[in-house]
Structure 1
Amino acid sequence: MPRRALPTRPSRPLWSWALPLLAAAGLVGGGVYLGTRPQNPPLQEAAQARTVAGDWAGLRAFGPRPVGEPGHTRALDWLAGQLESLGYRVTRQPVTLERPFDQGGTLTVGGLRVPAHALYGAQGGEQSGRLVPLPGGLSKGEMEARGLRGQIALLRCQDWDGDLSRGEIVGRATLAGALGLVWVQDCAVARVERVAATVLPLVWVSAQDGERVWARAGEEAELVSKVERREVTGANLIAARVDAEPGVVVGAHLDSVNASPGANDNASGVLAVLEAARRAAGTPLAERTWFVLFDGEEDGLYGSRAFVDAHRFALRQTRAMLNLDMVGVGAEALGVAAHAELRPLARAVRPGIRLFEDDPPERESFGRTSGVTGSSDHVPFIGWGVRTAFVHRGVDRHYHAASDRTLSPALVTDAAAFALALARKALDAPWTPQEPCEGFRSEGC
C-alpha cells in the first residue's frame, strides 16, 4: 500500500507577520510624536505670586525699548521667560523693519556752529538758506508769505506746543517751500514724534543753543544732518497654551520711543497683559485666550500687522481683540473704544466705563493720530472683521518723552481685571463670525 504524504503545515498569513511590525511602528511613531509634540511648560508657583509692582521693577531695569536697541532685546527675553513661567508656550514671530539712526549734524550761522540732531523719521541732508523765524500757529500760506520758500524754517517748541503734531508742523513748513527746518527744543517736556521721511534736513537743537541761533535769525545758515537707516528685527511674543484657540486675543505693544523707558507708553499695557495672563493661568480662560505682546508699534504698527497677516485663518474664530495701551497713568478715567457689539458688554462689566471714539487715521503719525486717543495695535484686526476694544486712560503730559518714567501698579492691575472680565463676557455672549471688512467706515467695522 502506497504511503500517504503527511499534510504540510499551512504557511503563515502575511497579516500575522505585518501586524506586530505595524504595532511596533505605531509605538515608535507615537513615541516620536509625543516626544516632538509641543508641550506646555509647567506653571510655576513663584510666577503666580509675582505682582505688577515687581514686574515693573524688572522691566524698567532694561531702559528704553526701541526695536534694535540693547534694552529691547533684553526686555524680549525677560518677558518671554515671565510668560513661560505662567505655563504658556511662547512663540516668537520675527518683526523686521527699517529705523532711522541719527549720526549727528551741525547748524552753522556766520561764526556760530552748534550741534544738531535729526528729528525722528527724517532722512537727513544738507541745505543752506536764510533762517526764517516762524511764530506759532501759522498756516502754510502764512509761512510762505514770510518768505519761507527756498529757505530754512526756525521754530521754538514753546510757540508751537499745542494741538498740532510735530509731523503736521513740519508738513506745513515743507509745503510752504522750506528746504530745511530747525526746531528749538525749549519745551518743559521734550517729546519724540515721528515726522515724514523727507530728504530735507529736519533737526532740533537744545534750548541753550537755540537762544544763540535765534539771535541770528534772518542770516544765511548751513544745515547738515546725517541719518543712517538700518534694518532691525524684533519679535511679537505669542503666549498660549498648546491647544488653545484664540477665542480672545489680549495684547499690548512692548516697544518704546527713542530715549524713553516708556513707563505708561507702553510698559503699563505690557504689565497689564502679564497680570491678565497670571490671573488666567490654570483656569479654563487660559485655554481660549492668546496673550500677545506686539513689537514695532511706535514705528507704524509693524508687529500687529505681521501678526494679523500670519494668523488670518485662526482669527476668524476670535470673538474679541482687547488692546491695552497707556493704562498706568490716570490722565482720564479708564475708557474703551469698542466695536458696537462689545460696548454693552463693557458696560455690563463696568457700568461707569468711559466710552470714546477711535476713528482710524487717514495718515499715521508715529503709529497714532495726533489726538488724545489715536490708533494702536487693534487697528489691523478691524479690517479682518475682528471685534476690538481699545482700553486706554488718555494721553498724559509725558507721552512720547524721556520723562515717561512712572506708572501706577494699582491702575495697571485695574485695567487687567477689566480686560479679563470683558474677555469672559465676550466668550460667553452669542456671536456670529463676520467676513473681513471692506474698510473702516461701515458700522461695526
Structure 2
Amino acid sequence: MGDNRKVPDVHTGQSSGRRARAQCAGSRGGVPGPRQPHLRSPQAQAHAYAARMYPRTRALPTRPAIALWKLLLPALLVLGLGGWAYRWVTRPVNPPLQPAARQGTVAGDWTTLQVFGPRAPGQSGHRRTLDWAQAHLTALGYRVTRQSFAATVREDLGAEVRAPGLTLRGQTLDGAQGGEQEGELVRIAPGAGAEQLQAQNLLGRLAVTTCPPGPWARLADAVVEAGGLGLAIVNDCARPPPLSRIDGTALPLLTVPARDGAALLARAGQRVTFRATTRERPATAANLIAARVGSTPDVLFGAHLDSVPLSPGANDNASGVLAVLELARRAAGTPLAERAWFVLFDDEEAGLNGSRLFVRAYSYPLRHTRAMLNLDMVGVAAEPLGVAAHEELRALVRRVSPATRLFEEAPSTRETFGRTLNVTGRSDHAAFKPLGVRTLFLHRGLDPNYHRAGDTVLDPRLVSGAADLAEGLARAVLAAPWTPREPCGITGRDCR
C-alpha cells in the first residue's frame, strides 16, 4: 500500500511524520505551537475558535494617534500663506503716470470731447465720454473706479388737451412725469411771476400761456407753487426754446404747436382736461472716481458729466468735466494727489442721482473731507465767476480771491400742497450737505443756451480760470486748521 507516513491527517492537515515530531516536541515540555491544537487547553482552543469565527474589525493600536492640532496647524499655515499671496497679487496698485498725459490742455481735451455729442445715459456720446475720461485719468496715475448704477430715462408718449368738441395733440415738457387733470382753464402772462399768479388764484385750475421769455421750467415751477394743476404752453417761440427740464411733480405739463394756439386760448374760462403720458426705460449710468491708492479725500473736486438728451452740453457741463480733468492733471505727481479725489458724477440732470449714490457708498471716508468743490457751467461768462460757499468757508474765499463773487443758492426743496419736494435742478454739491460736508460751488450763471440744442460753445480760458480758483481754494482749505466733527450714531449717516 506504500508508506503511510506521508498521508496527511484528515483532522489536522498534517502528515503522520510531522505529527509525531510535534508530539515529541510536546513531550519534551515545549509550548504548543499553532499547528498543535490538540495540545492546547480548552480555554485556549475556545479563544482560538472565537478568533477564527469573530475576527477583530480593526487592528489594535500599536502607537498613540497623531494630535489633531498637528494636522490643522500646517493646513492653516498653508491657507494663510495662500491668502496672503492672493491679496498681494490682487492688491490695488496705482497705474504709472504717463508723461504725455501731463502735456494735455483744456483746449485739446475740448477738441476731443465735443465730438461725442449729447451725453444723456443710454446715448452713444455718454458711453464714449465715460471711456475717454476713464482712460485720461488712468494715464495721469490715478486708480479709477467706475461706480455703475441703473438709471431711468423718461420718454414722452405724447400729450393732449380735451374739451367738448376739441382735441389737441402736443408733447410733454422735458422731464415731466405726466398725469391727467381736469379744471377751469386760465390764461396767464408768458412772463408771469409768483405775485401775478397768486393774484389770479390758480389753485385747482389749469394754466395756458404763449412762449415764455425765460426757461420754461421756471414758469412751470411758479405755476405749481401757485397751486395750479397743470400748464400748457403754446410754442409760438421765434427761436428754439430752452430745453428746461421739469422735475418734482406728477402734474400734466405740456406744450402744443403754434397752429393750435388760437383754438386753445379761446377756451379760457371753460373746463378742459390736460393729459401727458410718459414711459420710463432703463439705462446704465456710472460715476468715475479717480484717486491714488491709499489717498484720503481731504478735498474732493467734482462735476457732472451727463447732459440733457437733446443738448451737446458744452457749458452744461463739459466745462466742469474739463476743469476737473485739468485739476487732476495739475495734481498728478504732487503731494496734492495723495489728499484729493476727482469725481465725475453721472445722471445729475435727472435728479443728482450719481452724487447721491456716491455719498451713500463713501460716507465713511467723507467724514474727514474738508471741502467738496463742485464745478458746473464755468465755460461761458453769463456772469462773473462766483462761489456759493459754506458759511465756514466764506472768509477763506474772500482771502484767496477778494474779487470773486459770492452768491446764495436757491433752496434745494420746496413745499407744494403740504409736501416737501426735491428741486432736482440744483447741482451735485447739494448731495453732500446732509452729510455735513462743507461745499464750494463754482458757477458762472445761466447762459442763453442753457439746456438748448445750441449749447455747443465754451471758452477754454474761462475753464482754466475756474480751475485756478478751485485749486487755490483747495490748497487754502488744506492749509487752514480744521477739526472734524464726529457724526452721531454708529453708521455716521444720521447727523454730524
Q: Distance in 1 between matches of 2:200 and 2:438?
A: 43
TM-score (norm 2): 0.73
Tell me the secondary structure at the aligned position of residue 351 of structure 1: coil
Please tell me the residue identity of whatever aligns with 1:346.
V
Structure 1 residue 276, shift from structure 2 partner: 0.3
Cα deviations across residues 243-266 of structure 1 (Å, max 9, x unaligned)?
A: 111111110111112311111111
Structure 1 residue 237, shift from structure 2 partner: 0.7
Tell me the secondary structure at the aligned position of residue 378 of structure 1: helix
Please tell me the residue identity of whatever aligns with 1:253.
H
- In the alignment, what sits opposite 1:232? 283
Cα deviations across residues 139-172 of structure 1 (Å, max 9, x unaligned)?
A: 4455458xx966x5321123x6389813324415
Q: Distance in 2 between matches of 1:23 and 1:241?
A: 33
- In the alignment, what sits opposite 1:209? 259
Structure 1 residue 116, shift from structure 2 partner: 1.6
Larger mean Cα displacement after TM superposition, 48-57 or 262-271: 48-57
- In the alignment, what sits opposite 1:37? 91
- In the alignment, what sits opposite 1:367? 424
Taking only aligned residues, the RMSD between alpha carbons, in angstroms, comes to 3.6
- In the alignment, what sits opposite 2:353? 302
1:166 to 201, 219, 234: 219
Cα deviations across residues 370-395 of structure 1 (Å, max 9, x unaligned)?
A: xxxxx421122222222211111122
Identity of aligned residues (%): 50
Q: Distance in 2 between matches of 1:169 and 1:387?
A: 30
Q: Contact between 2:146 and 2:286, CA under 8 Å: does it hold in 1?
A: yes
1:319 to 370, 384, 397: 370
Structure 1 residue 202, shift from structure 2 partner: 2.4
Q: Distance in 2 between matches of 1:359 and 1:132?
A: 28
Q: Distance in 2 between matches of 1:362 and 1:230?
A: 26
Q: Distance in 2 between matches of 1:395 and 1:326?
A: 8
Cα deviations across residues 285-336 of structure 1 (Å, max 9, x unaligned)?
A: 1111100011122222111111111111101111111111111111122211
- Indicate whether 1:116 and 2:167 are aligned: no
Q: Distance in 2 between matches of 1:324 and 1:437?
A: 30
- Indicate whether 1:274 and 2:325 are aligned: yes
- In the alignment, what sits opposite 2:295? 244
Please tell me the residue identity of whatever aligns with 1:367.
T
Equivalent positions of 1:48-63 (< 5 A) are 48-63=102-117
- In the alignment, what sits opposite 1:98? 152
Q: Distance in 2 between matches of 1:162 and 1:18?
A: 73
1:257 to 304, 308, 332: 308
Q: Contact between 1:65 and 1:256, CA under 8 Å: does it hold in 2?
A: yes
Q: Distance in 2 between matches of 1:358 and 1:128?
A: 35
- Indicate whether 1:157 and 2:211 are aligned: yes
Q: Distance in 1 between matches of 2:166 and 2:100?
A: 60
Q: Distance in 1 between matches of 2:304 and 2:247?
A: 22
Q: Contact between 2:413 and 2:422, CA under 8 Å: does it hold in 1?
A: no
Q: Contact between 1:167 and 1:194, CA under 8 Å: does it hold in 2?
A: no
Higher RCO (C-alpha under 8 Å, 6+ residues apart): 1
Q: Distance in 2 between matches of 1:40 and 1:57?
A: 28
Q: Contact between 1:190 and 1:402, CA under 8 Å: does it hold in 2?
A: no
TM-score (norm 1): 0.80
Q: In structure 1, list runs of 5 or more residues that go unmatched.
A: 1-16, 369-374, 439-444
Q: Tell me: CA distance 1:267–1:19, structure 2 relative to 1, closer, same or farther (3 Å).
A: same
Tell me the secondary structure at the aligned position of residue 364 of structure 2: helix
Cα deviations across residues 210-269 of structure 1 (Å, max 9, x unaligned)?
A: 555567555887765431023433111100011111111110111112311111111111
Q: Distance in 1 between matches of 2:422 and 2:309?
A: 15
Please tell me the residue identity of whatever aligns with 1:49.
Q
Q: Tell me: CA distance 1:244–1:220, structure 2 relative to 1, closer, same or farther (3 Å).
A: same
- Indicate whether 1:328 and 2:365 are aligned: no
1:76 to 118, 130, 147: 130
Q: Distance in 1 between matches of 2:171 and 2:93?
A: 49
Please tell me the residue identity of whatever aligns with 2:142.
Y
Aligned residue pairs total 412
Tell me the secondary structure at the aligned position of residue 309 of structure 2: coil
Which structure's CA Rg is the greater one?
2
Q: Contact between 2:316 and 2:376, CA under 8 Å: does it hold in 1?
A: yes
Q: In structure 2, list runs of 5 or more residues that go unmatched.
A: 1-70, 415-420, 490-495
Q: Tell me: CA distance 1:36–1:185, structure 2 relative to 1, closer, same or farther (3 Å).
A: farther
